[in-house]
Amino acid sequence: MHLSRLSLCLIFVCLCAIESQANINDDVPLTKLGSKSGPTLKFFYCYSCGYKKVFEDYVNILRQKYPELQIDGENYNPPGANMMIAKGLGIAKILVIILIFNKINIFQWMGQPQPFWWQWCLENRLYSCVMLFFACNAAEGYLISSGAFEIHFNDVPIWSKLETGRIPQPPELFQIIDTHLQMLFPDMENGKIGLNN
């Protein structure tokens, strides 16, 4: 009986991991302008810091001033092992919650005496699962929070919040984009790129 429950729990954890990986890979940029092959502006932002709203605001502003630009955005994944640790912690969290909810004593399977804290978790299932869920979510958020708001023009970095410590003001960004557009299209008039010429 316990073995079939554990098998179901492991299958559930695997399915959750596969779905979370699929959600990461299915991140479709919100602002792709179609098949135009003009200059591109790419934003890499910290989703867990709440910068997605800032990105969307910038997209609305930039579309009005530069309709020819192709604008993309995606989450900035932190460097190093932080992302892998956060994913592992998420899977472990789900597995432990399933074990607690099903009152499975894993220490008995390992031939070890049951610690008092595991007994407390089994006796207070709802409280311990909620506490574990929120504690692990906080740890995962801390691990993947980068604070990034990076901007690339044609794959060339033009702004880095990680280096400057701040997000650019719209006039600053306009000036940077105008400079890069002027270098690409020296005959540009009044901010019009002229892709069809």
Based on the domain organization, do 127 and 85 belong to the same domain? yes
Q: Which helix (H) or strand (E) holds 43?
A: strand 40-45
CB contact at 8 A, 11 and 39: no
Q: What distance in Å separates the CA atoms of residue 128 and residue 86, rounded to the nearest whole number?
A: 20
In a domain, 51, yes or no: yes
pLDDT in tens, 104-141: 888 888 888 888 998 898 899 899 999 999 999 999 88
Instruction: Quote the domain boundaries for residue 95.
Output: 81-142
In a domain, 69, yes or no: yes
Q: What distance in Å separates the CA atoms of residue 186 and residue 172, rounded to the nearest whole number?
A: 20
Based on the domain organization, do 111 and 90 belong to the same domain? yes
Based on the domain organization, do 121 and 151 belong to the same domain? no
Percentage of the chain beyond pLDDT 90 is 28
Based on the domain organization, do 58 and 87 belong to the same domain? no
Single residue among 110, 127, 142 that ends a domain in this structure: 142
Helix residue spans in the chain (DSSP H): 2-25, 51-65, 82-101, 106-109, 116-123, 125-144, 161-164, 170-184
Rounded to a whole number of angstroms, the CA Rg of the chain reads 24
In a domain, 197, yes or no: no
Based on the domain organization, do 162 and 132 belong to the same domain? no
In a domain, 94, yes or no: yes
Instruction: Look up the CATH number of the domain holding residue 48.
Output: 3.40.30.10
The pLDDT assigned to 31 comes to 39
Read off the pTM. 0.58
Q: What distance in Å separates the CA atoms of residue 4 and residue 45, rounded to the nearest whole number?
A: 43
Distance of alpha carbon 69 from the chain centroid: 24
The pLDDT assigned to 21 comes to 58
CB contact at 8 A, 136 and 89: yes
Higher pLDDT, 111 or 187: 111
How many domains are contained in the chain? 2
Based on the domain organization, do 152 and 176 belong to the same domain? yes
Q: What distance in Å separates the CA atoms of residue 27 and residue 23, rounded to the nearest whole number?
A: 7
Partners of 152 in the β-ladder:
42, 157
In a domain, 10, yes or no: no
The pLDDT assigned to 128 comes to 92
Q: What distance in Å separates the CA atoms of residue 165 and residue 145, rounded to the nearest whole number?
A: 15
Based on the domain organization, do 91 and 127 belong to the same domain? yes
The pLDDT assigned to 135 comes to 93
Based on the domain organization, do 88 and 137 belong to the same domain? yes
In a domain, 92, yes or no: yes
End-to-end CA distance of the chain: 72
Q: What distance in Å separates the CA atoms of residue 195 and residue 178, rounded to the nearest whole number?
A: 15
Based on the domain organization, do 132 and 157 belong to the same domain? no
Based on the domain organization, do 93 and 175 belong to the same domain? no
CB contact at 8 A, 49 and 87: no
Based on the domain organization, do 86 and 135 belong to the same domain? yes
